[in-house]
Structure 1
Amino acid sequence: MKREDIQAFWTKHKAKIILTFLGLVTAVLMLSIGFFRTLLIMLLTGLCFLYGWLIDKFGFSGANKAIADFFKRLFKRS
């Protein structure tokens, strides 16, 4: 297989490949460490991804401000 063929395959099926791998990892984790520990790992990974995305988009101080603003809106008293 040529590199171009592999790149074309990846481009066409990227989401399927990534999600299949993610499903496999999730299944292995659930079978080895249990449901709730796997759920905790996924939750923390998602939160860290979100924080990294905010840092990439707004910078470190902007990300912290965005999170603070979110919690202020969430717990705003009427």
Structure 2
Amino acid sequence: MYELGMTPVLPAFSGNVPAALKRVFPSAKISRLGNWFTVNSDTRWCCTYLLDATDPLFIEIGKAFIEQQLKGIVI
């Protein structure tokens, strides 16, 4: 990609987290978004969880997210 003069644009951390993160970080500001999809009406397979951007954990996870992405890029 770089040989062609192209610079990749990577997505940043958007705040989407697994529900289990609430158990690991119980004080984190995590919201369950609306029930927009289920598999066979099973609530285990519904809903997206979003970490609030004002929570300090957002910065921590976001930084780790970018660091992992950059490991895959050879500059």
Q: Which has the higher strand share?
A: 2
Give the alignment's TM-score, normalised by structure 2: 0.31
TM-score, scaled to structure 1: 0.30
Q: Which has the higher contact order (CA 8 A, sep 6+)?
A: 2
Whichever of the two has the greater Rg, that structure is 1
Q: 1 or 2, which has the higher helix percentage?
A: 1
